[in-house]
Copies of this chain bind each other. A is one copy, B any other.
Amino acid sequence: MSEKALAYLKENRRNLLEKLNDFLSIPSVSTDSAHKKDVEAAADFIVTYLKEINFENVEKQETGGHPLVYAEYNGAGPDAPTVLFYGHYDVQPVDPIELWKSDPFKPEVRDGRIYARGSSDDKGQVFMHLAVFEALMKTEGKLPLNVKVCIEGEEEIGSENLYEILHDKKEQFQADFAVISDSGMVAKNQPTILYGLKGFTGIEITVTGPDHDLHSGMYGGAVRNPIMALNHILASMKNVEEVITVDGFYDDVEPLAENERKLIEQVDGEDYSEPAGIKETASEKGYTAKEHTMARPTFEINGIYGGYQGEGTKTIIPSSATAKITCRLVPGQDPVKIQQLLEEHVNKVAPSGVTVEVKKEKLSAKAYKVEPNHPLIEKAARSYTKAFGKETVYVRMGGSIPVVEWIEAIYDMPIVLLGFGTPDDRLHSPNESFPLDSFDKGMETLVYYWNEVDNS
């Protein structure tokens, strides 16, 4: 039942890759208002594609921000299951641009990988789904199940309008299960079922001392330096054993069970040093790197700045300093409560002579876990294995996908995280890429999966 579609994908591979290039060439950077029209153009690309393959009710929904693309396929009939396919067509910013070897929006294939911003996260994977729908429609004239398409343009900036839409339009988006391809395999060509995601919360701390930069000769010794004050605050929040030392932070953490520790141990191919370019890993005392990335919370400073950053020296006591912090959470932790604990801690330890402001990041998400032996999960694992020729591993991921938590909260349906990315893809970094192997074998996986699902 899959052969014709697979043959179609093979025969039309070049055309499909060219079409993917067109999609990747649109600089749909959601965080940058200068690219608003490009984001719109990426939405239009998907709308056009879905119409070409005869999906119904294809629409670009206004959200208040970037548009959401919706479409339906009902041709499988009322007895067939309906899948909610979610993805996003927006991408991360590209800075620092000087570190890219090729233009992030002029896709290039090098060493079996497609290099472009969004090739892995998430346009490459979204496109794979649309191409598979195309292959099935063109060869069979129908799909083996019904589909509701939900492809948004704000994932990289927090999907801030999505929850409301999913909530208010529950009937429109209702389905039997959801599939998302916005994650990765533990290694190239290693089928991976993601059965857990971390939650997410963030704050921004700004320490202000003098109301303007001061001459460090005139005022050094009289004025608390805001950068040093910020250092003391941050150093008090996580120690060198990688234990988060904010009061109450670990109170609600679901402990790492012994059987999960074994599962994690069995996950091969989790090498951090090489892809990261580091000599040794560093993890929470008492946990391995794998255990910490998969099942323990994190506290990460994403950026820090204050004072003079240019060439040479500038002898000032700067007016202020800022740090941006995000935390990845595990089951049990409440993101809003964590923000409060962080804020309380900062206010408690802030030294005299400066004022401290804590801004709470609006985006947040609880951690997510699903049972690895759910039938839909098992079918996904089998489809993967058929396409990639390897046993599937089951992992929990260090990252977060807020839409997963929302779908679970609103729809209470199983969510299958079927990702085809790899550790070397360099998500959120310069020189993002996506393997052609993932592109080809991933689409093969999807062809098998849609055909399996209708036989449940």
Contact = CB atoms under 8 A, between A and B. Distances in A.
A7 interface: no
Interface in A250-299: 272, 276-284, 287, 289-294, 296, 298
| Copies, count | 2
A410 interface: no
A127 B278 CA distance: 55
Interface in A338-384: 351-355, 361, 363
Contacts of A323: 227
B353 A279 contact: yes
B278 A300 contact: no
A385 interface: no
Contact of A307 (B157, B213, B242, B324): B324
B216 A328 contact: yes
Nearest to A294: B221
Contacts of A284: 221
Nearest to A288: B222
A202 interface: yes
Contacts of A242: 221, 224
Contacts of A413: none
B326 A398 contact: no
Given A228-B301, A235-B235, A303-B307, A398 B316 contact: no
B31 A224 contact: no
A314 B307 contact: no
B217 A400 contact: yes
Q: In the complex, which range does the number of interface residues on chain A fall in?
A: 35 or more
Contacts of A307: 301-304, 324
A235 B230 CA distance: 9
A308 B429 CA distance: 11
Contact of A303 (B281, B318, B355): B318
Given A276-B211, A301-B225, A428-B213, A219 B293 contact: yes
Contact of A221 (B213, B223, B303, B398): B398
A279 to B, nearest CB: 7
Contacts of A313: 158, 202, 302, 324, 326, 361, 363
A214 B315 contact: no
A27 interface: no
A305 B309 contact: yes
Contact of A231 (B231, B292, B311, B361): B231
A220 interface: yes
A447 interface: no
Contact of A282 (B202, B272, B282, B351): B351
Nearest to A270: B222
A219 B352 contact: no
A397 interface: yes
Contacts of A213: 428-430
B281 A223 contact: yes
Contact of A222 (B289, B355, B429): B289
Given A215-B429, A222-B282, A240-B232, A227 B304 contact: yes
B93 A214 contact: no
B301 A304 contact: no
A310 B95 CA distance: 10
A119 to B, nearest CB: 14
Given A221-B398, A222-B276, A304-B304, 4 more contacts: A200-B315, A212-B431, A220-B298, A221-B296
28 contacts: A31-B310, A31-B312, A92-B314, A158-B312, A209-B278, A211-B276, A212-B277, A212-B426, A212-B429, A212-B430, A214-B429, A216-B398, A218-B423, A219-B293, A221-B328, A222-B283, A222-B293, A230-B231, A231-B231, A232-B235, A303-B314, A304-B306, A305-B309, A308-B324, A313-B324, A313-B363, A314-B324, A314-B428
